[in-house]
Structures are given as structure tokens and as C-alpha cells.
Chain A
Amino acid sequence: MTVDLRVQDIAQQIGERFPGAIEEASADSMVVKGEFIPSVGQFLKDTPRLDFDYLNCLVGTDYSDYIEVVYILESYKHNHRLVLKARAYDRDNPTLPSVVGLWRGADFQEREVYDLLGVTFAGHPNLKRIFLWEGFEGYPLRRDYL
């Protein structure tokens, strides 16, 4: 059974390593500032005893004030799980750094979030629509679509 790690412990480690990176840490998830996502991901992937070698899923949600991207990380080695979040506050041009360099599985899922919510993932090798066709107007999963 996959164990959910205690977020507070990891948030403390990250806060010591990257000051100012943690925006919010609740009981089951933590919100990291967008520009820190690649370095925090690298830290979580490479640190022994954490070893988050697998990105289970990457999804986006529109909360009207901001667009949130959720990274669910898992470790095959230790069989544990962590929920990481990042927020993009600029609705006109929401941008977050891409994590394709860390987990290749993020490729299509970032394209999906770009397709349906319009989040631009900086550094993605092939960022274009995946479900809808090129030239489709608007981002359908946003609250203000239609």
C-alpha cells in the first residue's frame, strides 16, 4: 500500500534548502512557488529516502483567482506519495516551468493542461494542443469559457 508522506516534514526540509519556496503547506499537500518547481522537483527526485522517481499524474484546475497545477509524485523504491501544487496567478498569460526534464511522463499531461486551461509550460519541447485541434479558440476548462 502506498504511504502518504507527512507533508510538514518535507515542507520543512524544502524550506531549509530553498528559503521562500513554500507558499502554503497543509496536512496533505503543499503549494510551491512556480519558479521553484524545477529545483524542488530535482531535490525530491534525487534526495535519498525521498526518491520520487515517478510522476503519477499532473492535472490543472481553475480556481478563478489563480490556475493551480497539481503534481502527484510517487516513489517506486520506497512506495510513498506526495502531492505538490503550483499556482499561476496571471490569468492572461499563466506560465509555469516545465518538468519534462525531470519526469518524461509529464510531456503529454502538460500538453493536456495547456490544451484545456491555457497554462504555458516554459521549456516544454513540443507544447501544442493534444485533444483539440490547432486553431481552436479559447481554453474550454476555464471558468470563463463561453
Chain B
Amino acid sequence: MEIALFSMDEINRQLAEADRWETAEIGALMDIAQEPIPDDLDWLNEEPRNKIIGWGQGKSTWGVNFGLACCAFEMMSSAFSRFDQSRFGMEIMRPSPRQADFMIIAGTVTWKMAPKVRRIYEAMAEPKWVVAMGACACSGGTFTSSYAVVPGVNRILPVDVYVPGCPPRPEALINGFIQMREKIRLAKQK
């Protein structure tokens, strides 16, 4: 097997290409993120359906394990023994989006991070849910008019549950989980 040896020029050329690609990706995402994605208010399933599916999906949700800012500490805290989110069937946070059912946007989403968040969301298998945790993820918070921050993660992803607070206490996050579980149980099949 041959090992490819790159010169410094080649590495710099590839880095410059990666920079251009990132700029194009952020620009494309900014163009489609001019308006928030409207929340799906018509989610309640009026018709009787297979209750087993909703019950099973709601009680074994696994999240994607990633945090963006200080809210991530409250998220970790809610996973540890004092608040213990595994009481609700969220035994583990998965490091891979392929194995996860929902993602917690824990913190400020910057425009530079937005394409990566979007890609993690797209890599998750259906059905999938999104919890926006904290003021920054809900609306941009203090940084709404900043040059670098996405004003609310619902500009780039459809959000199911909003948990306000700066940061929210673990109890608030767990309340958000319970609301999400109710939504999974009662919603139309995704």
C-alpha cells in the first residue's frame, strides 16, 4: 500500500478549498433561513391508531450526545444520578446520530456551526424529534441580533419542543422530555 505524501502547498490548497466550500455551505443555509420554519400545530392524531407503536417509541427515546454551549452542562446534569433521565427510558445518549431518536439543541447555534447541526439532524433515522433547549436555541436569546448567531434554531430545523430558560434547570429539561414523550405518544405517525 502506498502512503500519499502531500506537500505543504497541496495541504494549503486543500484547506483553501475547504474554506470556500464552508463559505458556500453557510451562505446557502443563510439564504434558506430567512424565516423561521413554522411549528407543526396540527400534530395531534384524532384517529385511533396502533397504541403500541406510540407507547414503545415514547418510552425508549435515545438522544444524540452533543452540546453547543453552557446549556450542555444542565443536559449532562440531567443525565447523571441526581436527576437521572434514564427513569424515562432515555438510558443513554448516543454518540452517533444513526442510533438516536431525538436531538437536544443545547445552546447557542452559530452560523459556523449551523451546517454541522443540520447535517447531524439529516443523518438521524426517521422518526426523529428535536428539543430546543434554552433561550439561545429557542430564539437566539441575548444574541438575537448578533452577526454570528442563528436567531432561533427553528430557522434551520423543525423543532418539536421548546424548553425556555437560561439555562433551564434539569427539571425543566425533564419536563420537556415528558412533553416530547406525550407528543410522540399522541402524534400522527411520522
**What is A's interface to B at a CB cutoff of 8 Å?**
126, 128, 131-136, 140
Contacts and interface: CB of A to CB of B under 8 A. Distances in A.
Interface string B18-31: 01101100110000
B148 interface: yes
Nearest to A137: B147
A134 B16 CA distance: 9
A134 B112 contact: no
A132 B23 CA distance: 10
B112 A133 contact: yes
B111 interface: yes
A133 B26 contact: yes
B148 A134 contact: no
Contacts of B148: 131-132, 140
Contacts of A140: 147-148
A146 to B, nearest CB: 8
B147 A133 contact: no
Given A133-B19, A133-B23, A136-B147, 6 more contacts: A132-B148, A133-B22, A133-B26, A134-B20, A135-B27, A140-B148
Contact of A132 (B12, B20, B27, B112): B112
Interface residues of B, number: 11
Q: Interface majority SS on B: helix, strand, loop or mixed?
A: helix
A126 B147 CA distance: 24
Interface string B66-89: 000000000000000000000000
* A-B CB proximity, top 4 nearest: A135-B23, A134-B19, A134-B23, A133-B23
Contacts of B26: 133
Contact of B22 (A126, A131, A134): A134
B18 to A, nearest CB: 10
21 contacts: A126-B12, A128-B19, A131-B112, A131-B148, A132-B112, A132-B148, A133-B19, A133-B22, A133-B23, A133-B26, A133-B111, A133-B112, A134-B19, A134-B20, A134-B22, A134-B23, A135-B23, A135-B27, A136-B147, A140-B147, A140-B148
B42 to A, nearest CB: 37
Nearest to A146: B147
Contacts of A132: 112, 148
Nearest to A128: B19
